[in-house]
Amino acid sequence: MSPESRKKVTYETGIQGEEIAENYLRSLGFRLIESRHREKTGEIDLIMEDGTTVVFVEVKARFSMQANGEGLRAVTPAKQRRIARTAMLYLMKQGWLRRDIRFDVVEINQHGIVHVPNAFQPGGIRF
Amino acid sequence: MNEMMAHILAFGVSGVSGFPVQVEVFSTGGMPGMEVIGLPDASVRESRERVNAAILNSGKEMPPRRITINLAPADTKKEGPGFDLPIAVGLLAANRQIHIIPSIDLSKTVFFGELSLDGRIQPVRGALAMAISASEYGYTDIILPAGNAMEVACIQGMNIYPVCHLKEVIGHLEGTLPIRPQKQMDYEELKRHRTVAVDMSQVKGQEGARRALEVAAAGGHNMLMIGAPGSGKTMLARCLPGILPPLSFQESLETTRIFSIAGKIAPGSGLMVERPFCAPHHSASVASLIGGGMNAAPGEVSLSHNGVLFLDELPEFSRGALEALRQPLEDGVVTVSRVRNQACYQSSFMMIAGMNPCPCGYYGSRQRECRCTPQEIRRYLDRVSGPLLDRIDIQVEVDSVPVAEIRSSAPAESSAAVAARVEKARILQMDRYAGSGFFCNAQLDNNAIRKYCSMTQEAENLLHLAVEKMSLSMRAYHRVIKVARTLADLSGSDRIGMAEIAEAIQFRELDQKYWRNGTL
């Protein structure tokens, strides 16, 4: 497979995963605000609302034969910081700096869906 | 609606006293995370992980919120895991995870304790010091680890709630499962269980040394025993705890407080009844004797406060270590200064020292010929400096006991009999010095000597004659009077007479024999 087509497959896996995750979270009563939100610091897969709490969701889709939890571990501290910074910019633009927020990770693999609410607390992220 | 706050009272330890620490927990929306500020050390900063796990294991939640924990005053260093419990309670209150019933006044309730990940509460160091300080600051309730409960059981006028698990604390604060305050324990109750390690009846012969030991015990005087190897110096010293009266309540509070800070109290045990007996090896460093380390921890002199510091083989101690003893011997306190910390510890101890008269050990012995040269003996004795010797009230020669005497079946007087006389003399002293801050004759300062040690005219004349003849220093002069006071207390007389002065002077004669005159 050429590098270009591999990129494309990865992207499609991502889109597919996000759809599955979105539907799953909707079924839990979450409300979608925006998907694939882009800032200069990166992208957030899903921004949803759980009650009054703004939830930033990182989706990890792994359809190949990989062990459970592989996707969760892929959200490294560096990745967490990038997501947090992006979320911060988003919140600033919305004027939501004092709302309750949360970071969830959803992993989708061949066995099903693993949802980790409050997966990480990035703490003092400042600009 | 979104910002929430909680204030919880905690205590930190500095030296032998505790200081109040206000744990402020601020919970707000925004980027989730937890920050601890207010000069926490590593163990305090790590507490957020313990607290997090303990809260989840107590059936409560940690909502994803932005949390700032401030330990005020912000300019004092906070050490140790004792802040876990107040931080946990603060977090629960700030996040509205618990609803504290109004009958609990958080501004008067002190919390301390270390948390395990599973929510159990572990004992901490310095509980007694913190509890005493808390009561001095006027706080009325303490919630503390059950492992520390015995230690503080004798404190009056406070409600003490011992707890084993965070769940119990939650139940108590929410009023669903109130804990009953611990029953206050009577110190006299504790005193009833005493055991004697080495009994005086095992010491054969040695009449002079036995008498000296009794006088030392009765007045809390320092004592030096000089004698050949194996003559029983160590054994005599070990008899001392058995003839000393138990600690009085006030003394016990002081001593236990120091042990509590050093973390030397066995979990579950209460106030100390037995006087401490510290016998550091002669390789001891200055810092281990006086106190020191990064956080200015108490040393052997403070751990033997109100007890006995036994220095066997006195000349083998390093010069620095011996000279460092001079100040605590004189003042009864040491100030340990380090760059970051300074602490003042009480160190009013009886110094009991044992030594050989020369390198081979047999100089002056009836038993064997000494094979040291005069120079060698001189050098050996000179390791004990004049100023240190000056501070030793009672000096006694201990020679080996002849075999015939050892084999004689006549039992020597037991510790119990000696202890009874010692206690009688001590009670006299306690009554005389009630309210003045002294506990025994050895602690008297010059003013107090003038006030409490009246003597007959003949006694005074004898003393002045002796001072001239023996060229005693002013300090030695005062110390002779203090020993004479003890001798008078032992014989139950009010004024010091000639006999007492004569015996007290006699206790100083070795000083002359070994260190001053020219027979060598």
Structural contact between residues B132 and B253, judged by C-beta atoms closer than 8 angstroms: yes
pLDDT for the residue numbered A69 = 63
Q: What is the rounded average pLDDT for all residues in chain B?
A: 89
Q: Choose the weakest-confidence range: B47-51, B73-77, B340-344.
A: B340-344
DSSP state of B512: I
Overall average pLDDT of the B88-111 stretch: 94
Within 8 A by CB and 6+ apart from B189, the residues are: none
The DSSP code sequence of A8-60 is: HHHHHHHHHHHHHHHHHHHHTT-EEEEEEEEETTEEEEEEEEETTEEEEEEEE
Contact B32 A87 (CB under 8 A): no
| Cα–Cα distance measured from residue B334 to residue B308, given in angstroms and rounded to the nearest whole number | 16
- Cα angle B428-B431-B434, degrees, rounded to a multiple of 5: 145
Fold for B200-516, please state it. Answer: Rossmann fold (3.40.50)
B64 touches chain A (CB under 8 A): yes
Q: What are the strands of the beta sheet with A31-39, ordered from one edge?
A: A31-39, A42-50, A53-61, A101-109, A112-116
The alpha carbon torsion through B498, B499, B502, B503 (nearest 10 deg) reads: -150
Q: Does B519 touch chain A (CB under 8 A)?
A: no
Would an 8 Å CB–CB cutoff place B13 in contact with chain A?
no
Q: Are B489 and B219 in contact (CB under 8 A)?
A: yes
Nearest chain A alpha carbon to B29: A100
Q: Considering only A62-66, A78-82, B379-383, B485-489, which range has the smallest mean pLDDT? A: A62-66
Collect all residues of chain A within an 8 Å Cβ-Cβ radius of residue B30.
91, 97-99, 101
Closest B-chain CA to A81: B31
* pLDDT at B295 > cutoff 90: no
Q: Sign of the C-alpha dihedral, residues B439, B440, B441, B443?
A: negative
How does DSSP classify residue B511? I
Nearest Cα to Cα of residue B492 among B409, B427, B446, B441: B427
**pLDDT confidence of residue A104:** 94
**Backbone φ, ψ for residue B345 (5° rounding):** -115, 140
Strands B17-28 and B277-278: unpaired
- pLDDT tens across B153-180, in order? 888 889 999 999 999 999 999 999 999 9
Domain B4-174: which CATH number of 3.40.50.410, 1.10.150.530, 3.30.230.10, 1.10.8.10 = 3.30.230.10
At B261, list the tokens: 């800070």
pLDDT of residue B189: 75
- C-alpha of A102 from chain center: 11
Q: What is the C-alpha end-to-end distance of chain A, expressed in Å?
A: 41
- Strands B121-122 vs B114-115: parallel, antiparallel or unpaired: antiparallel
Domain ranges of chain B: 4-174, 200-516
Sheet architecture: strand order including B350-355: B277-278, B308-312, B350-355, B223-227, B394-398
Residue in A53, A118, A123 nearest the CB of B31: A123
pLDDT at A56 over 70: yes
Reported as a single tens digit per residue, the pLDDT across B258-272 is 998 888 887 777 888
How confident is the model at residue B164, as a pLDDT? 95
- CB-based contact B305:B258 (threshold 8 Å): yes
Report the alpha-carbon distance of residue B7 to residue B26 in Å, rounded.
9
Residues in A touching B28 (Cβ below 8 Å): 98
**Six-digit token pair at B37?**
């500020």
d(CA B245, CA B275): 8
- Interval B220-232: pLDDT, tens: 999 999 988 888 8
What confidence tens digit (pLDDT) does each residue in B403-417 have? Answer: 777 777 677 888 888
pLDDT recorded at residue B354? 93
Tokens 């407080």 — which residue? B257
Q: Phi/psi of residue B462, each to 5°?
A: -60, -45
CA distance B62 to chain A (A): 10
Domain ranges, residue A97: 3-116
pLDDT tier at B519, thresholds 50, 70, 90: very low
Give the burial string for B426-455 (b: 16+ CB within 10 Å, else e): bebbbebbeeeebbbbbbbeeebbeebbeb
Q: Give dist(CA B358, CA B420) in Å, integer.
A: 36
Comparing alpha-carbon positions, the chain B residue that sits nearest to A126 is B31
Element (H, E) at B13: strand B4-14
B32 chain-A contacts, CB cut-off 8 A: 101-103, 118, 121-123
Asked if B489 and B403 count as a contact pair (C-beta separation under 8 A), the reply is no
pLDDT for res B113: 96
- Write the pLDDT tens digit of every residue in B2-32: 889 999 999 998 888 899 999 999 999 888 8
Contact (Cβ atoms closer than 8 angstroms) between residue B440 and residue B429: yes
Token couple for B457? 């005219």
Instruction: Name the residue facing B30 among A98, A103, A118 (closest C-beta).
Output: A98
Cα angle for residues B7, B11, B12 (degrees, 5° grid):
130
Find the CATH number of the domain harbouring A31: 3.40.1350.10
pLDDT band at A65 (very low <50, low <70, confident <90, very high): low
Residues in chain B: 520
* Cβ-defined contact of B31 to A122 (cutoff 8 Å): yes
- The stretch B501-512 carries a mean pLDDT of 87
- How much is the average pLDDT of B117-140? 93
CA trace torsion B511, B513, B516, B520 (10° rounding): -140
Q: Which of residues 11-50 of A touch B (CB under 8 A)?
A: none
B190 has pLDDT over 80: no
The pLDDT of residue A67 is 56
B404: amino acid identity, one letter: A
CB atoms closer than 10 angstroms to residue B375: 9
**What are the DSSP calls for B430-470, one per residue?**
HHHTTTTT--SGGG--HHHHHHH--B-HHHHHHHHHHHHHH
pLDDT above 70 (res B136): yes
CA pair distance B368, B364, nearest whole angstrom: 9
Q: Is position A122 within any domain? A: no
Per-residue confidence band for A125, with pLDDT thresholds at 50, 70 and 90: low
- What type of residue sits at position B113? G
Please, which residues 304-323 of chain B have a Cβ atom closer than 8 Å to chain A? Answer: none
Q: Is residue A44 part of a domain?
A: yes
Contact list in B for residue A122 (CB cut-off 8 A) is 31-33
Q: Which one of B30, B35, B65 has the shortest CB-CB distance to A97? A: B30
Point out the residue among A100, A103, A118 whose CB comes nearest to the CB of B29.
Answer: A100
Is the CB of residue B68 less than 8 Å away from at least one CB of chain A? no
Integer CA distances (angstroms), B269 to B146, B190, B306, in order: 11, 10, 19
How many independent structural domains does chain A possess? 1
Whole-number Å distance between alpha carbons of B253 and B406: 42
What is the pLDDT, as a whole number, of residue B511? 76
Predicted complex ipTM: 0.81
Q: How far apart are CA B131 and CA B338, in angstroms?
A: 26
**For residues B53-68, average pLDDT:** 93
> Which is nearest to B234 in space by CA: B311, B301, B325, B305?
B311
pLDDT of B518 reads 43
Separation between Cα atoms, residue B221 and residue A74, nearest integer Å: 72
Question: Is A127 a domain residue?
Answer: no
Chain B residue whose CA is closest to A118: B64
pTM of the full structure:
0.81
The CA distance from B518 to B365, in Å, is: 18
Torsion sign (Cα): B358, B361, B367, B372: negative
Residue A123 within a domain = no
Can you say how many angstroms the Cα of residue B388 is from the centroid of all Cα atoms in its chain?
22
Overall average pLDDT of the B102-115 stretch: 95
Q: What pLDDT was estimated at residue A68?
A: 62
| Chain A closest-CA separation from residue B312 CA (Å) | 58
pLDDT tens across A85-105, in order? Answer: 999 999 999 999 889 999 999
What whole-number distance in Å separates Cα of residue B388 and Cα of residue B393? 11
Residue A124 lies inside a defined structural domain of this protein: no
Q: Is residue A103 less than 8 Å (CB to CB) from chain B?
A: yes
What pLDDT sits at residue B269?
77
- Amino acid identity of B13? V
pLDDT tens column, B446-461: 899 989 998 999 999 9
pLDDT bracket for residue B185 (50, 70, 90): confident
Residue B425 has pLDDT above 50, yes or no: yes
The token duo for B80 is: 């140790």
Contact B298, B258 (CB under 8 A): yes
Please give the pLDDT value at position B517.
54
Q: Is there a contact between B31 and A98 if contact means CB atoms under 8 Å apart? A: no
Tokens of B185: 């324990």
How far apart CA B110 and CA B9 sit, in angstroms, is 5
Q: Which of B1, B2, B3, B31 to mutate to test the interface with A (most CBs of A within 10 A)?
A: B31
C-alpha B511/C-alpha B41 separation (Å) is: 51
